[in-house]
Chains A and B, each alone.
Chain A
């Protein structure tokens, strides 16, 4: 069963522990990014490993491939030519355009680490979770605002 990073925005405190963990592990690459939505929220952006991945379709040298078993969309650092096509094609803006070591910055869900992505492990507030698809369906993510508390990010 495929596992993905899920963000519970209610819990995110904007500390950027996720980004720091990623950047330290991948020697300067920011494979997880954030959007700072003024007056509303800080939003960590992790790769969704789309079923129809536009980054994969746009790569001119087939550096981005999909693992059919896990659905993981990964970029080979040996094949990547740093053309930034994937960064411009990504509809969620999670691939950062500036190159690091002449290659694009693409999340691989820390496939080198048995415990899962480092950003999830480091997350100080528990907002990022690494869940299987059926676990995600059972979670009450996003329901808290209406059912449990009238929590609104205040100005």
Chain B
């Protein structure tokens, strides 16, 4: 650099703090730059397992850590309230443990999960449930903590079966998969998805299935005897292509199944998981789960607690985590008569909120796709924000007792599941589009783009909608105004969007099955403002 263009060195007081990115299940390493003015940027560290590569979520992490709405003090209905008041509230609430439910969302370390369970044991709170509703959370059962999947498994493979748009879900995997594909022209990449994505562009075989039918396709790849005259009509792919892929995958010396399951992308997520199980058993190949947040193996599903809330048996919720219940306006009616105390990193609701540290600001262990990783606590928490253990100390609540065994992941009966799935697919939705969810990392925090509504060109023409225009999308649950993107990537009669805001999440229908609560693709109407 010459004198006319001086090199602007980072000031002498600025430091690069190495930490783990906790915004997806990959746990990439990055540096957070801190100086006299606070956290000022991200540094890409070449001497890390991810070689400095960071996806949009990782780059935007500093914006989240530094967010202008970070919560620093406890608040109730958007007004400051002291810790003493919270302490008193907790004391009164814990006198009736049967009326209390603990919900655990995301942004929790393994140590904090254990502290929460100890706390619930001590105060005899029976209902401790997970509110991590994204179906990807069901993939935690495929994390083998003793021998977790690793990126070398991709290199060794001759064939990969990929479920979903993994390159935009967790971009860090793209280099490994693309290099593997170009390394040998015999390497075969099979992608299963209902829309064209950047992952499907790279596929050797792209199984472009009818939206939501992932479970049926996976089960047929596992050679479950499901063949019938309606198979091709339902899934959009021929049985012969499925048969050939299934046999080749089974006979491949090495192979891997890589699975991502976005919010409201498939019907019957439990059946999709069962399909993955059976494909893995049939082929003898491992599953590498891709997920956005870590999951907690000792928690029960949320469905039963929601029923108890509806019946009026639960009067208080203590939420540890990040997004629930703010992200799901579907529940606001059910929650109108109960009192909610929630930890939260950002200030954005009317409940009692306690300032929470983000995972990147903690010391502890998180579970990633590649097994356990350690958070060093190198980035100090924003003033006032507490981790769960500090919170318990501050509130003077005790923890103790023994920890339960991990909840065993249930297997489900495929016959009933398929019946339910077929009913949902063939349901008559006159004059309606079916809205599906997708996960694309660059919509995170609206850094590069705000969520858009994808619509097929023929549908856009029919309704006189032009690209970039704003439309109303309305389901029976909610109404949202969104910009439109016209693309032939998606099939006619469907809409796809990224459930990145509470309003968009609020569009989707939910269903409780076997205590699990999941969000389904949902019928919506679209119109333009007069």
Say yes or no: B42 contacts A17, CB within 8 Å. no
Say yes or no: A21 contacts B185, CB within 8 Å. no
Known contacts: A20-B55, A118-B44. The answer to whether A13 contacts B171 by CB under 8 A is yes
Please encode chain A, from 58 to 69, with 1 for each CB lying within 8 Å of some chain B CB and 0 for all others: 000000010101
Known contacts: A13-B171, A15-B168, A121-B46. The answer to whether A67 contacts B56 by CB under 8 A is no
Quick one: which of A1-32 are within 8 Å of B by CB?
Answer: 10-11, 13-17, 19-21, 23-25, 30
Complex CA distance for A19 and B56, rounded to whole angstroms: 8
Partner of B178, one of A13, A21, A121: A13
- In the complex, whether B52 has a CB less than 8 A from a CB of chain A is yes
Complex CA distance for A11 and B143, rounded to whole angstroms: 28
Known contacts: A148-B185, A154-B201. The answer to whether A15 contacts B442 by CB under 8 A is yes
- In the complex, whether B131 has a CB less than 8 A from a CB of chain A is no
Q: Which residues on the B side are within 8 Å of A124 (C-beta)?
A: 53-55, 171-172, 174-175
Chain B: which residue is nearest A65 at the CB level?
B4
Complex CA distance for A123 and B178, rounded to whole angstroms: 13
Complex CA distance for A149 and B186, rounded to whole angstroms: 10
CB distance from B494 to the nearest CB of A (A): 17
Known contacts: A19-B448, A121-B53. The answer to whether A13 contacts B199 by CB under 8 A is yes
Interface residues on A, range: 35 or more
Complex CA distance for A151 and B181, rounded to whole angstroms: 10
Say yes or no: B447 contacts A24, CB within 8 Å. yes
Complex CA distance for A42 and B200, rounded to whole angstroms: 13
Segment of B58-66, B111-119, B239-247 engaged in the interface with chain A: B58-66
Say yes or no: A149 contacts B182, CB within 8 Å. yes
Chain A: which residue is nearest B467 at the CB level?
A38
Partner of A16, one of B5, B42, B201, B448: B448
Say yes or no: B52 contacts A122, CB within 8 Å. yes
Partner of A23, one of B2, B178, B448: B448
- In the complex, whether B196 has a CB less than 8 A from a CB of chain A is yes
Say yes or no: B42 contacts A21, CB within 8 Å. yes
Say yes or no: A70 contacts B2, CB within 8 Å. yes
Q: Which residues on the A side are within 8 Å of B174 (C-beta)?
A: 13, 15, 124-125
Say yes or no: B53 contacts A17, CB within 8 Å. yes
CB distance from A104 to the nearest CB of B (A): 18
- In the complex, whether B203 has a CB less than 8 A from a CB of chain A is yes
Partner of B182, one of A30, A123, A148: A148
Q: Can you spell out 16 A-B residue pairs with CB atoms less than 8 angstroms apart?
A: A11-B175, A13-B171, A14-B167, A15-B55, A19-B442, A19-B448, A21-B42, A24-B60, A70-B2, A74-B5, A121-B44, A122-B52, A125-B167, A148-B182, A149-B181, A151-B202
